[in-house]
Amino acid sequence: MLRFLRTTLPAVALSAALALGAIGASATQAQADSRDAARVLGGVIALYALGRALENRNNDHRPSQHYYNPNRPQHYYAPQPPRHQRLVAPAHCYREFQTHNGFFRGYAGDCLRQSVHVNLPNACARQFRTNHGQRTFYAGNCMANHGWVRETRYNH
């Protein structure tokens, strides 16, 4: 309600001033002398000043882009953390070995399950027979297609 009054009250006052000025004008023959010209010029200056005052008042409610006001509180926004969890495969789980079908590059399944606590993509799982029995490995290029990246540094 108060905001409505703040915006409409100056507009009503300006309209009333213009209406009263029009009522005061007589229908007699128009004769302009220096006194009338000064009144018109004074009225124009007053209207200009009133318009500037209203404009400045409205600008006080908007953040200024060109003027720093030390009394106005400044807002600083911290960067938001990423919305999705980055999937990083530990470098110590990476394996390369020769198979009868070619060279395999990927990650040892047991090592990944112990190191990362997210669901691994089943589409990337491959079964290989090793000296320690049947083992699951995850293909590196398939993991990359599912958003996984290999850890960049690894210190023993």
In a domain, 132, yes or no: yes
In a domain, 95, yes or no: yes
Please give the pLDDT value at position 124. Answer: 93
In a domain, 62, yes or no: no
Look up the domain containing 129 and give its range: 87-150
Measured CA to CA in angstroms, residue 9 lies from 1, 15, 19, 47, 115 at distances of: 12, 10, 15, 16, 69
Q: Rounded to 5 degrees, what are φ and ψ at 104?
A: -115, 135
Please give the pLDDT value at position 16. Answer: 66
In a domain, 59, yes or no: no
Rounded to two decimals, the pTM is 0.44
- Quick one: which of 114, 103, 63, 107 has its CA closest to 89? 107
What is the crossing angle of helices 34-59 and 2-24, to 10°? 170
| Neighbour-count burial of 124, counting CB atoms closer than 10 A to its CB (0-12 exposed, 13-18 middle, 19+ buried) | buried
Please give the pLDDT value at position 85. Answer: 61
Please give the pLDDT value at position 80. Answer: 62
In a domain, 66, yes or no: no
Measured CA to CA in angstroms, residue 150 lies from 2, 90, 91, 113, 115 at distances of: 60, 6, 6, 15, 13
Helix%, strand%, coil% for the chain, nearest 5 = 45, 20, 35
Specify the number of domains making up the chain.
Answer: 1
Please give the pLDDT value at position 118. Answer: 87
In a domain, 122, yes or no: yes
For 24, the token pair is: 């005061």
DSSP, collapsed to helix, strand or coil, labels residue 47 as helix
In a domain, 67, yes or no: no
What CA–CA distance (Å, rounded) separates 93 from 151?
10
In a domain, 72, yes or no: no
What CA–CA distance (Å, rounded) separates 137 from 125?
6
In this prediction, the residues of the chain whose per-residue pLDDT falls under 70 are 1-9, 11-12, 14-32, 58-69, 74-85, 153-156
For 89, the token pair is: 């495969």
Please give the pLDDT value at position 55. Answer: 77
